[in-house]
Chains A and B, each alone.
Chain A
Amino acid sequence: QSALTQPASVSGSPGQSITISCTGSSSDVGSYNRVSWYQQHPGKAPDVIIYEVTKRPSGVSDRFSGSKSGNTASLTISGLQAEDEAEYYCCSYAGGSSPWVFGGGTKLTVL
């Protein structure tokens, strides 16, 4: 199962909005609404920020939002804050013998 494709890095200034894309195929992102996004700060375990494409767990800021179009899912962070600087990973259900696949990760830098 191939990893989902994410940009290696994105950056933005405080207060701005950024979007991270996650491109898969008709076998994963395109077929299932089981796309999730995780935020990982250095040395820490990841935390879920979006699940089932658009849903936010309790306690996650509404500055984080998710969407999907065809084989590409997206994570948008609005009103960037310094604390948003982290690595972001998408993940999709893919069925078959290796049912889950991650993206390669995107390093967000808040300038």
Chain B
Amino acid sequence: QVQLVESGGGLVKPGGSLRLSCAASGFTFSDYYMSWIRKAPGQGLEWVSYSDSRGKTIYYSDSVKGRFTISRDNAKGLLSLQMNSLRAEDTAVYYCAKLAYSYIDYWGQGILVTVSS
């Protein structure tokens, strides 16, 4: 069965960096677009970034553009999100998500990132 397992979250000071990873299994990772989506406390879902199946076409939300970098290792089934220059407003649960063309068909369990001094 499809599994998406996030890791790398935690507490970081403003201006700091963190790298999230998502280990994917149960499907042919290299065939699918993948995304990072977050939910801040008391807020709704926000699309953070997504990557096409080869990592060639990549999009970022305006709120993270220039600070976050998405990447993938298709050989290892690994999706990553490098987060730099973190701000308090980046505090959220981050979800790794698999896209089925027009919608998200699988989500990871989510991992908490807290940006605070």
Contact = CB atoms under 8 A, between A and B. Distances in A.
Interface residues of B, number: 20
Interface stretch (A13-21, A23-31, A72-80, A96-104): A96-104
Contacts of B95: 45-46
A38 B104 contact: yes
Contacts of B100: 51
B32 interface: no
B44 A103 contact: yes
A72 to B, nearest CB: 18
Given A101-B47, A102-B44, A52 B102 contact: yes
21 contacts: A1-B62, A34-B102, A38-B45, A38-B104, A40-B45, A45-B110, A46-B45, A48-B103, A48-B105, A51-B100, A51-B102, A51-B103, A52-B102, A57-B105, A89-B44, A91-B45, A97-B59, A100-B50, A102-B44, A102-B45, A103-B44
Interface of B: 35, 44-47, 50, 59-62, 95, 100, 102-105, 107-110
Interface of A: 1, 3, 34, 36, 38, 40, 45-48, 51-52, 57, 89, 91, 93, 97-105
